[in-house]
Amino acid sequence: MDGPNAPHETEEDQPLDPAAERVRRKLVRFMAINLTILFAAVMAVVLALVYKSLTPGQDSAASPASTVSPVPSEEPLEGEIALPAGARILSHAVSGNQLTLHLRLKDGSEAIHLYDMDAAKPVGRFSVVWKGQ
């Protein structure tokens, strides 16, 4: 860089005056402290995310899929579910240890029956009522 505005090599090599050197040291110390605080904050967030992902929370206890009991490989599950006479199964669903059956009863009405497979007993019955008919 040649020209009248080009810095001279001698100006770059000269040490700063004491006041400018004190300001430079304060800025370097300020930057180091701020970068340390920023790094600590980022690490705290990362550690919190890792901790949250590794520990089961209260929300996972409410999930029915977390209560699935393992099925022994030697003997399959078996049992008997007593349905009302003339009932027909329209659909079914399994969630955890609960079995849900959507039934059409003999009189044409519909109902939803809930069964606990671990206890082998019914836990709920809901009638399906169609409004406006």
pTM of the model: 0.44
Confidence at residue 33, expressed as pLDDT on a 0 to 100 scale: 98
Reply yes or no on whether the pLDDT at 22 is more than 80.
yes
Confidence at residue 47, expressed as pLDDT on a 0 to 100 scale: 97
Percentage of the chain modeled with pLDDT above 70: 76
Please compute the mean of the pLDDT values over residues 48-71 and round it to a whole number: 68
Confidence at residue 69, expressed as pLDDT on a 0 to 100 scale: 56
In this structure, what token pair is assigned to residue 19? 């006041």
Confidence of residue 42 (pLDDT cuts 50, 70, 90): very high
Reply yes or no on whether the pLDDT at 12 is more than 80.
no
Strand order of the β-sheet with 98-104 is 88-95, 98-104, 110-116, 121-128
Evaluate whether 92 touches 83 at the Cβ level (below 8 Å).
Answer: no
Whole-number CA gyration radius for the chain: 36
The domain ranges of the chain are 9-54, 83-133
